[in-house]
């Protein structure tokens, strides 16, 4: 990735964005637009269409028609694969442009954005495209007087509502398997990360996705997202975001057509460091990146570090040194390790958690707003020596704020780890193989790392337990959401 190329793109004018409905770019039905403010410097980047309920309904109707007439679901899986593979190539060819556009809108450091956004989206589309013509149905081992066939059928119209931290990666985790399965999609990006998803969907049209198969409606959650959730014509709703919104979606499904709802929600993931960790320096280094990359705006961020008391002081010292060395700054400088916080609202929320901990008398390292003179939203990593009763220990910050808390026994570590309403991710650092596997069993989370943090690839599922959600993105298991089982029971 070359810095001159990034610099050439960083100030390029960005045209106003519109919805993509039924294969056409269209404005909001009432002409409304939303101004996009760049978190890099607070400047106005462009506008996008501020969707109305009518826009959401038009997109759903287009997706319904496209599904029902079989223009996509009726293709041979190998034919869908061909189009999706071409699309993945187009996304990859535009990766730097897409990454820079996304960073200008959401502030993620460019190195991570390039890998985690367009390149990851291309890889995801490719992965599901390549898988779809290898999935067969079943012949049941039934009484030979009968034939029991189990078909897998595309589930229908999928509503996908995604957040702002990794719009392309998380978006592709939804539309990749959904489209490969033969579903049609109405996608609703987050208010502060919409542009790249519209552009990627346009590339889909170029690759040969028929009109109406992938529609993108930009705008506000309580308007566009709520209309998708309440629709009688959406069969499956997939969501990544906050628990509060997740609850609303379940209510809307209950009040409308009982659509299936799959939620990927927040986390307060414990990262447990035992005194027998193979390498405490490595643990401190990886743990720092496990919370501070993308300014902590990572659903699986290891935001609660629990450290065995005998190494607690040494670990905090090492972690503080790692945090201080993280280069927070201009997200379009390829040497930056943590870019801007996504919005002023998120920054203020982060700073409130830090201030509250200080007011309660807790030791806090870092955590100040920095680079205010740029007009952007930046914050130093914060390490809070927290107690289990503290709000910062229990609630998700979704910012560069980590708590560190000592423990004495394995049982206490488990109790602390499981002591929140969340259950998304976790980590255990230990050189003791038996303990590692015991902890994997005892920790209530969808993903438990051992002697590492983050970086799990597409081949394994990601999903939460407890109030971190249900259902899984990534891996072949993701298809379960988008394929219905149908039995044919035949008397022979
Ligand atoms: P959010 O719930 O506010 O918004 C997510 C999406 O929901 C956005 O597109 C938003 O417009 C939409 N939305 C908001 N209100 C809505 C409503 N009433 N009806 C329908 N849609 C509505 O969350 P956020 O602030 O964008 O994202 C941050 C949260 O996402 C954090 O809690 C984070 O942990 C979580 N997250 C989870 C994962 C995961 O895989 N589990 C991944 C990334 C982020």
Domain count, the chain: 2
- Give pLDDT, residue 389: 96
pLDDT of residue 184: 99
**266 Cα nearest atom in ligand 1:** 34
pLDDT tens, 171-188? Answer: 999 999 999 999 999 999
Question: Residues 57, 117, 299, 380: which is the catalytic one?
Answer: 299
Q: Is residue 305 part of a domain?
A: yes
Catalytic residue among 57, 105, 191, 264: 264
Residue 462 lies in a domain: no
Helices (H), 76-166: 77-93, 95-106, 110-114, 120-132
Which whole-number Å values give the CA distances from 153 to 18, 69, 299, in the listed order?
32, 15, 31
CB 249 within 8 A of CB 255: no
- Name the band, by pLDDT with cuts 50, 70 and 90, for residue 2: confident
Contact criterion met (CB below 8 Å) for 337 and 327: yes
CA-closest candidate to residue 283, choices 318, 313, 324, 309? 318
Kindly report the protein residue whose alpha carbon is nearest to atom 28 of ligand 1: 241
* Contact of 206 with 235, CB cutoff 8 Å: no
pLDDT in tens, 82-108: 999 999 999 999 999 999 999 999 999
- CA of 127 from ligand 1 middle (Å) equals 25
Question: Looking at the structure, do residues 77 and 210 belong to the same domain, yes or no?
Answer: yes
**CATH number, position 194:** 3.40.605.10
Cβ distance 159 to 171 under 8 Å?
no
Same domain, 301 and 244: no
**Per-residue pLDDT, 49:** 98
Q: Give the model confidence (pLDDT) of 236-279 as tens digits.
A: 999 999 999 999 999 999 999 999 999 999 999 999 999 999 99
Q: Is 119 in the same domain as 232?
A: yes
CATH of the domain at 391: 3.40.309.10
Q: Is 56 touching ligand 1 by the criterion CB < 6 Å?
A: no
What's residue 80's pLDDT? 98
Q: Is residue 55 located within the same domain as residue 138?
A: yes
Cα–Cα dist 371/369, whole Å: 7
| DSSP tag of 118 | I
Instruction: Please tell me the residue having the least CA distance from ligand 1 atom 22.
Output: 221
- Structural domain includes residue 117: yes
- 333 and 305 share one domain: yes
Same domain? For 275 and 258 the reply is no
Pairing of strands 369-370, 483-491: unpaired
CA distances from 393 to 244, 363, 380, 426 (A): 19, 14, 19, 14
Do 321 and 451 lie in one domain? The reply is yes
Alpha carbon distance 404, 93 (integer Å): 42
**Is residue 85 situated within a structural domain?**
yes
Distance, CA 162 to ligand 1 centroid (Å)? 6
Query: Could you tell me the distance, in angstroms and rounded to a whole number, from the CA of residue 467 to the centre of ligand 1?
Result: 14
Q: Is the CB of 338 under 6 A from ligand 1?
A: no
Task: With H, G, I as helix, E, B as strand and everything else as coil, classify residue 250.
Answer: helix
Is there a domain that residue 485 lies in?
A: yes
Q: Is 482 in the pocket of ligand 1 (CB under 6 A)?
A: no
For the chain, the first-to-last Cα distance in angstroms comes to 62
C-alpha angle 246/306/283, rounded to 5°? 105
Judge if the beta carbon of residue 191 lies within 6 A of ligand 1: yes
How far is the centre of ligand 1, averaged over its atoms, from the C-alpha of 165 (Å)?
9
**Residue 250 corresponds to which tokens in the numbers above?**
């379940």
Gap from CA of 435 to ligand 1 centroid (Å): 35
- pTM of this prediction? 0.97
Question: Which residues pair with residue 26 across a beta bridge?
Answer: 19
Q: Which atom number of ligand 1 is nearest to the Cα of residue 299?
A: 34
Query: Is residue 424 in contact with ligand 1, taking CB distance under 6 Å?
Result: yes
pLDDT of residue 1 exceeding 80, the answer is no
Average per-residue pLDDT for the chain: 97
* Interval between CA 241 and ligand 1 midpoint (Å): 2
- The verdict on residue 207 lying in a domain is yes
Read off the tokens for 398. 């979704």
Q: Is the CB of 229 under 6 A from ligand 1?
A: yes
- Evaluate: CB of 248 within 6 angstroms of ligand 1: yes
- Identify whether residues 414 and 476 lie together within a single domain: no
- Residue 183: active-site member: no
257 and 277 share one domain: no
The verdict on 348 and 419 lying in the same domain is yes
Residue range(s) defining the domain that contains residue 282: 270-457
250 and 305 assigned to the same domain: no
Residue in this structure with the two tokens 């969907």, named with its chain if needed: 201
Per-position DSSP letters for 173-239, written without gaps between them? HHHHHHHHHT-EEEEE-BTTB-HHHHHHHHHHHHHTPPTTSEEE--S-IIIIIHHHHH-SS--EEEE
Assess whether the C-beta atom of 467 lies below 6 angstroms from ligand 1. Answer: no
**pLDDT single digits (tens) 392-406:** 999 999 999 999 999
Q: What are phi and psi of 240, to 5 degrees?
A: -130, 130
Q: Whose CA is nearest to atom 27 of ligand 1?
A: 241
- The rounded distance, in Å, linking the Cα atoms of 37 and 344 is 10
Residues in the chain: 492
| 379 and 260 both lie in a single domain | no
Say yes or no: CB of residue 471 within 6 Å of ligand 1: no
Q: Tell me, yes or no, whether 463 lies in a domain.
A: no
Does residue 475 lie in a domain region? yes
């Amino acid at each position: 990735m070359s810095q001159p190329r990034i610099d050439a793109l960083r100030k390029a004018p960005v045209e106003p964005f519109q919805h993509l409905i039924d294969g056409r770019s269209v404005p909001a039905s009432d002409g409304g637009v939303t101004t996009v403010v760049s978190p890099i410097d607070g400047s106005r980047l462009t506008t996008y269409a501020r969707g109305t309920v009518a826009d959401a309904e038009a997109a759903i109707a287009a997706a319904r028609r496209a599904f029902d007439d079989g223009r996509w679901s009726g293709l041979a899986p190998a034919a869908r694969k061909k189009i999706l593979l071409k699309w993945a190539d187009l996304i990859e060819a535009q990766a730097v442009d897409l990454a820079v556009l996304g960073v200008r809108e959401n502030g993620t450091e460019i190195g991570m954005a390039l890998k985690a956004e367009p390149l990851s989206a291309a890889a995801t589309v490719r992965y599901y495209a390549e898988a779809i013509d290898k999935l067969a149905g079943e012949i049941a081992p039934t009484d030979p007087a009968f034939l029991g066939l189990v078909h897998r059928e595309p589930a229908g119209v999928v509503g996908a509502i995604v957040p702002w931290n990794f719009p392309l990666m998380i978006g592709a985790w939804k539309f990749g398997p959904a489209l490969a399965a033969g579903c049609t999609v109405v996608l609703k990006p987050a208010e502060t990360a919409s542009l790249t998803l519209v552009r990627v969907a346009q590339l889909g049209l170029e690759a040969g996705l028929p009109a109406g198969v992938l529609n993108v409606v930009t705008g506000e959650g309580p308007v566009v997202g709520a209309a998708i959730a309440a629709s009688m014509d959406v069969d499956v709703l997939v969501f990544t975001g906050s628990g509060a919104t997740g609850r609303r979606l379940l209510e809307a499904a209950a009040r409308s057509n009982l659509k299936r709802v799959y939620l990927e929600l927040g986390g307060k993931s414990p990262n447990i460091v035992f005194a027998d960790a193979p390498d405490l320096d490595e643990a401190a280094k990886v743990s720092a990146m496990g919370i501070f990359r993308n300014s902590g705006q990572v659903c699986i961020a290891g935001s609660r570090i629990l450290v065995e008391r005998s190494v607690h002081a040494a670990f905090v010292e090492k972690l503080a040194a790692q945090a201080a060395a993280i280069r927070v700054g201009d997200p379009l400088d390829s040497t930056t390790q943590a870019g801007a916080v996504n919005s002023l609202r998120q920054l203020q929320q982060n700073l409130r958690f830090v201030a509250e901990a200080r007011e309660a008398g807790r030791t806090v390292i870092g955590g100040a707003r920095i680079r205010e003179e740029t007009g952007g939203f930046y914050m130093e990593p914060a390490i809070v020596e927290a107690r289990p009763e503290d709000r910062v220990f229990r609630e998700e910050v979704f910012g560069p704020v980590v708590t560190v808390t000592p423990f004495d026994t394995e049982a206490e570590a488990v109790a602390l780890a499981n002591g929140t309403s969340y259950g998304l991710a976790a980590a255990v650092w230990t050189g003791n193989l038996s303990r590692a596997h015991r902890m994997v069993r005892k920790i209530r989370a969808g993903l438990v790392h051992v002697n590492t943090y983050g970086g799990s690839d597409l081949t394994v599922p990601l999903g939460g337990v407890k109030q971190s959600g249900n259902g899984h993105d990534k891996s072949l298991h993701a298809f379960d959401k988008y394929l219905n089982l149908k039995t044919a029971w035949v008397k022979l």
